[in-house]
Amino acid sequence: MKKVLRIFVISMLIIIIAGIWGYKKYQINNSQQKIAQTEFKNMPVLLEFSSDTCYPCKQMKPIIEEIKKDYEGKAEVRIIDVYENIELAEKYNIRLIPTQIF
């Protein structure tokens, strides 16, 4: 009987931990998806996935900033750090940086 009780308690703990982990992951996904969404629904969106530690990303950043400035009001341009937004990078299947998605 003790063995059955132990298995039951361990199973319940695993279910509770999995539920907490899933809830936290859901909260992170919701906040990070807001980064990709834009209030400008009638505008095209350019997402630049990059990192501050990536040399090609550093070279690309002035170009993206210029595009952002040139197309202000015509397009939404966002630079997303893949290390700060891991789930968003996974959602878009980012494997190399810099990556631009239009």
54 is catalytic: yes
- The catalytically annotated residue of 47, 54, 60, 94 is 54
Number of helical H runs and strand E runs in the chain: 3, 3
56 is catalytic: no
- The catalytically annotated residue of 32, 47, 50, 57 is 57
Residues 6 or more apart whose Cβ sits within 8 Å of residue 36: 45, 47, 78, 80, 88, 91
How far apart, in whole angstroms, are the C-alpha atoms of residue 28 and residue 24? Answer: 6
Give catalytic residues, as residue numbers.
Answer: 54, 57
